[in-house]
Amino acid sequence: MQIVNKAFINGVFVTPHGTQQLELENPATGETITRVTLADEVDTKNAIAAANAAFKTYSQSSLQTRQEYLQRIHDVMVAKFDQLVDIINNEYGAPQWFTKFALQDAIRSWLVAKEQLKPETFRYHLKEGAEVILDPVGVAALISPWNISLWFMCVKASTAIAAGCTVVMKPSELSAQQNNAMAEIFKEANLPPGLINVLNGNGEVVGNELTRNPGIHKISFTGSTAVGKLLLKNAADTMKRVTLELGGKSPSIIVEDADLEKAIPFVLQVGLQNSGQACIAGSRILIPESREAEITAALKKGVEAMKVGPATNQESAIGPLVSKRQYERVQDYIKKGIEEGAVLLTGGLGHPDGLEKGNFVKPTVFVKVDNHMTIAQEEIFGPVLSVITYKDDADAIRIANDSIYGLHAYIAGTDTARAKKIAEQLQAGRIAINGFVDEPRAPFGGFKQSGIGREFGKYGLEAFLEPKAVFDI
Ligand code: NAD
């Protein structure tokens, strides 16, 4: 068992003032693998003070200095690649290919942030005469979820420190080993004290303090829409700048002219990615009425060919869910789908055969789903897909947009012009046609209750900057 009993504050590992302990299990085996001591309000205040002290100097740092820090963190991560894969496998349990893909992406984020650092981003003249100067917004709280904690930590922190902000990170308390590994990386990269502080702690304690404390000027939050709303209200009193990356119920539209050889693997990849624990999962599959029988048969065959298993098995396509609680939550949704009259095409309640120990869920596809059913409206965050039929393109667009969410959408179709016409009418922050795209320079974020603001590239950087216009008359 690994003991995580330190907080990373002001460049050193300290024993937290908080004494509450939490035990975490390997999601594939149920074995207890971590005991973490959680930080409290006192630790949070200490971290905020350290970040504010560091901000005085760091906010004035040259772009070259920031580039050096970003490069150093990147290099330390590269050297620890295999060790980090093991930690994620053990703690989170995602299939190997997904862990490696996410980790490579996380490592790349430090270089993508470095590449954003051009003088003209921070200071330029408008034709109308004003000089625009973009200052770092202040101390940023970075609050993130467990569906590969380390990835969120890297994407958020790289952008924040590129902008000249100092940070207090509160990643998910369910990811203590990853959080600790990242803190060790920051320590090894020999950054200025207080530039990046990392706390393991509960949302209600550390998260709550971060969202109310006047020493925090910006919150970058990724997590559920329910917590996002609470956080927005709490942050209003001190008028913090807030970026919210929240939930989704993304549609995958199979257009009538789709080639199923390509469309089925695509919609299953995006629907079941990260074992369904993905905000961008294409969890509603919209199919034309005219091809219902053919498409549902192909979906059944495709899902049943996907192997469920632990990260230690290279062939696993779908891993366990992060916790018993998440397993139970997903079971409740499957029950609800059955109760509301949806029809099971494959999967269902309980564990897959032979995988009774961990938090494994049977990959489940419901057909005959009405878009107003709970399983089509609420985010399940597990390997459960809802198939909904539509009459024509306009009907598909109407159903796709009939959601409180608007994070992502996917379209599979042969006629690209037709697919693009559909894309233009969808309310979603990202739309991928005929393939999944992982582009860290394009904006990422949600319409409607999927969030506020954008991350990635120059859009993400600007979210950590405050523009001021100087007129020299
Ligand atoms: P969550 O909202 O429960 O927790 C997210 C983070 O917020 C955690 O660190 C948690 O400790 C903290 N938190 C909880 N209560 C808080 C409070 N009162 N004040 C401040 N912080 C608090 O989400 P989760 O269960 O960890 O993650 C799953 C959710 O995250 C899903 O809804 C998913 O869609 C969403 N998500 C969104 C994106 C995106 O980019 N849009 C990406 C991944 C996950």
* Beta carbons of 196 and 169 less than 8 angstroms apart: yes
Q: Going by C-beta distance under 8 Å and a sequence separation of 6 or more, which residues neighbour residue 24?
A: 32, 33, 34, 35, 36, 91, 174, 176, 177
473 pLDDT higher than 90: no
Q: Give the 3-state secondary structure of 71-86.
A: HHHHHHHHHCHHHHHH
Report the distance separating Cα 291 and Cα 281, nearest Å. 23
Query: How far is ligand 1, taken at its centre, from the CA of residue 176, in Å?
Result: 15
Long-range pairs, 308-313, Cβ under 8 A, ≥24: 308/352, 308/355, 308/360, 308/361, 308/362, 308/363, 309/355, 309/360, 310/28, 310/29, 310/93, 310/358, 311/28, 311/88, 311/89, 311/90, 311/93, 311/94, 311/95, 311/96, 311/99, 312/28, 312/89
**CA neighbor of 186 nearest in space, from 214, 167, 205, 211:** 167
pLDDT of 396 reads 98
How far does the centroid of ligand 1 lie from the alpha carbon of residue 231, in Å? 11
Quickly count: other Cβ atoms within 10 Å of residue 414's Cβ.
Answer: 14
Longest dimension (CA), the chain: 76
The Cα–Cα gap between 360 and 347 comes to: 12
**8 A C-beta contact, residue 334 and residue 384:** yes
* Nearest ligand 1 atom, CA 225: 32
Tell me the CA–centroid distance for residue 473 and ligand 1, in Å.
48
Q: Distance from the CA of 341 to the center of ligand 1, in angstroms?
A: 30
- Which among 214, 156, 206, 219 is positioned nearest to 182, based on CA atoms? 156
209 or 437, higher pLDDT: 209
How would you class 108 by CB atoms within 10 Å of its CB: exposed for 0-12, middle for 13-18, buried for 19 or more? middle
| Ligand 1 midpoint to CA 299 (Å) | 30
Spatial distance between the Cα atoms of 42 and 408, rounded to a whole number of angstroms? 39
Residue 202 CA: which ligand 1 atom is closest?
A: 11
Spatial CA neighbour of 189 closest among 164, 221, 170, 161: 161
Kindly state if the Cβ of 223 falls inside 6 Å of ligand 1: yes
Sign, CA torsion 441/211/44/323: negative
SS3 385: strand
The model's pTM is 0.97
Assess whether pLDDT exceeds 90 at residue 260: yes
pLDDT at 291: 98
Spatial separation of the C-alpha atoms in residues 228 and 219, rounded to whole Å: 10
Domains of the chain, residue spans? 2-246+450-470, 251-440
Report whether residue 203 contacts ligand 1, using a CB cutoff of 6 Å.
yes
Q: Is 143 in the pocket of ligand 1 (CB under 6 A)?
A: yes
Q: Which CATH architecture does the domain made up of 2-246+450-470 adopt?
A: 3-Layer(aba) Sandwich (3.40)
Residue type, 387: V
Determine the average pLDDT of the residues in 258-262. Answer: 98
Question: What would the DSSP string read from start to end of 189-252?
Answer: TTPPTTSEEE----IIIIIHHHHH-TT--EEEEES-HHHHHHHHHHHHTTT-EEEEE-----EE
- Separation of alpha carbons 359 and 354, rounded Å: 12
Distance CA 58, CA 65 (A): 9
What is 251-440's CATH topology? Aldehyde Dehydrogenase; Chain A, domain 2 (3.40.309)
| Mean pLDDT confidence for 354-377 | 97
pLDDT (tens digit per residue) in 175-208:
999 999 999 999 999 999 999 999 999 999 999 9
Q: What is the pLDDT of residue 142?
A: 98
| Per-chain mean pLDDT for the chain | 97
Report, as residue numbers or ranges, the catalytic residues: 245, 279
323 CB under 6 A from ligand 1?
A: no
Give yes or no for residue 390 CB within 6 A of ligand 1: no
- Single-letter residue type at 89: N
How far, in Å, is the centroid of ligand 1 from the Cα of 330? Answer: 16
Burial status of residue 60 (CB atoms within 10 A of its CB: 0-12, 13-18, 19 or more):
exposed
Neighbouring-strand partners of residue 379: none
The per-residue pLDDT for range 43-82, each reduced to its tens digit, is 999 999 999 999 999 999 999 999 999 999 999 999 999 9
- 208 in ligand 1 pocket by Cβ < 6 Å? yes
Q: What is the pLDDT of residues 300-313, one digit of tens each?
A: 999 999 999 999 99
CB neighbour list of residue 8: distance below 8 Å, 6 or more residues apart: 14, 183, 186, 187, 196, 197, 198, 199
Distance CA(209)–CA(205), nearest Å, equals: 6
> HSE-up of 461 (CA within 13 Å, CB side)?
22
Using the structure block, give the residue that is written with the tokens 């470095």.
114
In sequence order, what are the beta bridge partners of 432?
A: 410
Q: Look at residue 283 in the predicted model and tell me its pLDDT.
A: 98
Closest Cα partner for 288 from 262, 265, 258?
A: 258
Query: Any residues with CB less than 8 A from the CB of 72 and at least 6 apart, and which?
Result: 189, 190, 191
For the Cβ of 406 lying below 6 angstroms from any atom of ligand 1, the answer is no
To test the pocket of ligand 1, the residue of 105, 149, 212, 224 to mutate (highest count of ligand atoms within 8 Å of its CB) is 224
What does the alpha-carbon distance between residue 270 and residue 21 come to, in Å, rounded to a whole number?
36
Helix (H/G/I), strand (E/B), else coil: 457: helix
Tens digits of residue pLDDT in 127-144: 888 999 999 999 999 999
Specify the pLDDT at position 128. 84
- Residue to mutate, 98, 143, 326, ligand 1, most ligand atoms under 8 Å from C-beta: 143
Decide: 380 in ligand 1 pocket, CB within 6 A.
Answer: no
